[in-house]
Amino acid sequence: MDLKQKNRKTVRRLTLVAVGMFGFGFALWPLYSVLCEVTGLGGRAIQVEQNNSEAVASDRVVSIRFDASVNSSLSWDFKAKEKVSEFNLGVPSTAYYVATNPGSDAVTGQATYNVTPPEASLYFVKTECFCFTEQKLEANESKDMPVYFYIKPDLPEHIKDITLSYTFYRHGYDPSDRMANH
Amino acid sequence: MTTEAIHEDLNEAHDDHDHGDHKPTGFLDRWLFTTNHKDIGTLYLVFSLTMFMIGGAMAMIIRAELFMPGLQLVEPDFFNQMTTMHALIMVFGAVMPAWVGFANWLVPMMIGAPDMALPRMNNWSFWILPFAFTMLLSTLFMDSGGPAAGWTLYPPLVLQTGSSFAFVVFAVHMMGVSSIMGSINIIATIFNMRAPGMRLLRMPMFVWTWLITAFLLIAVMPVLAGAVTMLLTDHFFSTNFFNAAGGGDPVMFQHIFWFFGHPEVYIMILPAFGVVSEILPTFSRKPLFGYGSMVYATATIAFLSFIVWAHHMFTVGMPLQAELFFMYATMLISVPTGVKVFNWVATMWQGSMTFETPMLFAIGFVVLFTIGGLSGLMLAITAADFQYHDTYFVVAHFHYVLVPGAVFALMAATYYWLPKFTGNMYSEKWGKIHFWSSAIFVNVLFFPQHYLGLAGMPRRIPDYSPQFADFNMISSIGGFAFGATQLIFVGIVWHCAFRSKVRATPEVWEGSRGLEWTLDSPPAYHSFNTPPEVTCNALSRAD
């Protein structure tokens, strides 16, 4: 093989590697999401079920802390009615948050959620949640926001405390708009 | 493959000029359209020295603002633009192109090849860069200002850059294309164009380290390109890759960025390892100790660089197991790095050492790089990192490995090979002045930053609590002096190239070994038109 062919072959192979790695950069996005779903990393692997069919009551109790925060794109007051409560595993339960819009315009918000320790999110089952849909608050309106959930009874023994955290964003919030809005 | 085949091919590649020492006449023909590896190497080196001065000027602005607590000189937003641009320019504009420049000059001469494998692509790789950096620098003069979120470009902060952000992203794309083409060229040259007898495990260490660096570049520059493309679409086309409100995840950007970013660190330092492995044997008049282990250590470092990225983001909230994995994997890197440091010391052991300027910079590298390596080990301890993260301790750490590390190695390489490139000796007196003031002031500049970091001073902040005032003032004085010292370097290079009356011999140094020293100083415009005979004696290793 002469040098020209050899060089062409090398270039072809290395270009393929470079193009492949460009694709791999994008593939990291779904790979990362799948990894989080399977392992619970990131604490967002919460299960969603329409009914409580799998719920089997257990004597074991965990303490759940309800955390609330609001992104700077929204000027709502948002907090849990009860910050910490104890729950029996496998028992369908309800927790309430309260959101208030102190402004003079109706605003739509959307909440994101997260569970700590991340491993616990695999056992956290929500049947209904205000975070599933966008929430509209009229001017000066205050609204109860319920979460219907249960914890699977096979929750690993070492998990005694769970934190459920919500962050409200203005619906359709895009961080790159900040320059335009301010 | 026959040797005639190589030369016929190269004649085709060089059909615009013939054999021998004939240079194209006319400025544009010589420099803009050049396909000669020596000319392109020179272009890269001049470009990176220019960028080093521009990035250095930005560092002066940063240190001037930090001279005293309070806001004196610049607005906080401009300060953040300076820290961001300083890093982007030094990483992508100064250190990386400088190494590509040395690779262009040296790789063909070291392996006995007449030129790079792909001379026209070589021209393109270089000429993209001035445009990329013009675009990047132009953002400073736009209404929305330059990028100010740090060179790591973390969202959501970086998405608040105005419309100039598109220029930043495209500039990064162009730098990536340039690096990838340069790397493909270097790999093709090394794989296909070695002189007969130049087996892989006989290659000089600089060629080896660059071969491995080139593979790292091809593997990770496209990942950075992907990451900034996602930022671009998040910013301008309402995608939600990294927007939490839209179901994306800003932490994922950090994972993707550092998957590129950690190998990038080694891209900047591996060629430095190669240079030091060339220089120490010459001035110790001994072969390099442990050549084989040097090659394998380099390859091991390159491999490990792909599995340690998350040590840059210990504080994002990872599970304990992941923190432990990344901690141990990171600490593992100190094993091959330690092998290298011990080999360098063993190379000097009982050698008849002399201390010309390149040797001084190489020894300075070994000592000061090791300090940076040790603070890196401290940062790898995940529990301790929660205190050090985003403080000046980190700034001190990576500046120790990059300035008295990579930059000192670049200086050493310049003093070592400049007589070969230009045919003139530089001024040894001024070289020594340059070394000693650099070595002293780089420590005055960066050592106090360790203490600032341990005391809790955050990085990327234009103002600070008065308790940090004294160390910051010392650091700034060191910074101004170090900056001024580099003007001496520019003067020395200029003098060596255009004014020096002392001619260099082909060997230049008493103990030099390797094919490049068998050529004249300066070498003919087209060298090794006939492949040299590679004898063990001509190489710097004993086998």
Active site residue B389: no
Q: In chain B, which stretches have pLDDT less than 70?
A: 1-21, 536-543
- Active-site residue identified among B17, B23, B202, B459: B459
Kind and range of the H or E run holding B505: none
Residue A18 and residue B222: Cβ atoms within 8 Å?
A: yes
pLDDT tens column, A110-149: 898 889 888 888 888 888 888 888 889 998 999 999 999 8
Q: List helix spans (H) across B291-407.
A: 291-304, 320-332, 334-348, 357-380, 382-388, 392-401
Segment 132-161 of chain B within 8 Å of chain A by CB: 144, 155-156, 159-160
Q: Please list every residue in chain B whose beta carbon sits closer than 8 Å to the beta carbon of residue A118.
A: 319
pLDDT at residue number B79: 96
Q: Are strands A161-170 and A61-70 parallel, antiparallel or unpaired?
A: parallel
Q: Are strands A47-48 and A124-129 parallel, antiparallel or unpaired?
A: parallel
A132 at B interface, C-beta within 8 A: no
pLDDT tens column, B180-238: 999 999 999 999 999 998 999 989 999 999 999 999 999 999 999 999 999 999 999 98
First to last CA, chain A: 64
* CA atoms in the 13 A half-sphere facing the CB of B532: 21
Cα–Cα distances in Å, from B321 out to A124, A164, B314? 21, 22, 12
- The whole-number average pLDDT for the span A153-169 is 91
pLDDT at residue number B5: 46
pLDDT at residue number B195: 93
- Choice between B119 and A180, residue whose per-residue pLDDT is larger: B119
CB B492, CB B434: distance < 8 Å:
yes
Give this prediction's pTM: 0.91
Which one is the CATH code of A46-173: 3.90.280.10, 2.60.370.10, 1.10.3720.10, 2.60.60.20?
Answer: 2.60.370.10
**Which residue of chain A has the CA closest to B6?**
A3
Closest by Cβ to A21, choosing from B9, B222, B249: B222
- CA B247 to chain A, closest CA, distance in angstroms equals 8
Cα angle for residues B431, B369, B183 (degrees, 5° grid): 85
Count of beta carbons in the 10 Å neighbourhood of residue B247: 12
Name which of A87, A59, A162, A72 is nearest A119 in CA terms: A162
pLDDT at residue number B540: 55
- CA B76 to chain A, closest CA, distance in angstroms equals 16
Residue B192 and residue A173: Cβ atoms within 8 Å?
A: no
pLDDT band at A181; cut points 50, 70, 90 = very low
Cα–Cα distances in Å, from B339 out to B71, B214, B370? 46, 22, 12
Name which of B457, B360, B443 is nearest B403 in CA terms: B443
Q: Best of A19, A72, A174, A177 to disrupt the B interface by mutation (most B CBs within 10 Å)?
A: A174
Residue A10 and residue B227: Cβ atoms within 8 Å?
A: no
Q: Please list every residue in chain A whose beta carbon sits closer than 8 Å to the beta carbon of residue B223.
A: 21-22, 24-25, 28
Number of cross-chain residue pairs from A and B with Cβ atoms under 8 Å apart: 127
**Count of residues in chain B:** 543
**Which residue of chain B has the CA closest to A71?**
B245
